[in-house]
């Protein structure tokens, strides 16, 4: 069963997305901000992250940047949700974008497609290196947009 991490500081929005995703059979984890979400992602390695753009402490854009810094988290697909259109240069940080209010049918379809396109953990090739890479070791910031 795929695990999806929902990140939003509004409990009502978390509840709506949780219900829609659990009804489809997904395991859902929740977080109220990007800092907590990053910690949960590191502990659970979710199959997908759905995040709001505007949140206190760490917004969705910064969460996406930080996810990309860690090898074990960099390949997790991300859906960004916001009331405002995204800035063009930041669009490479996530895989899909939805403006609020979100069309739940389109959202559920996108979730399914992103999960299908992601290789399963069992079939992912191992990372070969002359030294072991910790999942907590950040990737050089030179690689990030």
pLDDT tens-digit series, residues 113-125: 999 987 655 444 4
pLDDT at 60: 94
pLDDT at 91: 72
Q: In angstroms, rounded to a whole number, what is the distance separating the alpha carbons of residues 63 and 106?
A: 23
- List CB contacts of 75: < 8 A, sequence separation 6 or more: 118, 124
Confidence of residue 140 (pLDDT cuts 50, 70, 90): low
Mean pLDDT score of the chain: 85
pLDDT at 130: 42
**Given a cut of 90, is residue 92 above it in pLDDT?**
no
- Specify the higher pLDDT residue, 10 or 128: 10
**Hey, where are the domains in the chain?**
3-143
Q: Is residue 5 helix, strand or coil?
A: strand
Calculate the alpha carbon distances from 67 to 38, 46, 122 in Å: 7, 11, 21
Query: Under CATH, which number does the domain 3-143 receive?
Result: 3.40.50.2300
């Amino acid at each position: 069963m795929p695990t999806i991490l929902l990140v939003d500081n509004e409990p009502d929005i978390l509840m709506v997305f949780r219900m829609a995703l659990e009804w489809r059979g997904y395991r859902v984890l929740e977080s109220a901000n990007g800092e907590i979400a990053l910690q949960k992602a590191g502990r659970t390695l979710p199959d997908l992250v759905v995040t709001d753009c505007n949140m206190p402490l760490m917004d969705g854009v910064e969460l996406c940047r930080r996810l990309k810094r860690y090898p074990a988290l960099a390949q997790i697909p991300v859906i960004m949700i916001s009331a405002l259109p995204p800035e063009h240069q930041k669009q490479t940080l996530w895989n899909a974008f939805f403006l609020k209010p979100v069309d739940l049918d389109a959202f559920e379809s996108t979730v399914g497609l992103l999960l299908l396109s992601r290789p399963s953990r069992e079939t992912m090739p191992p990372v070969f290196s002359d030294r072991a890479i910790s999942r907590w070791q950040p990737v050089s910031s030179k690689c990030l947009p």
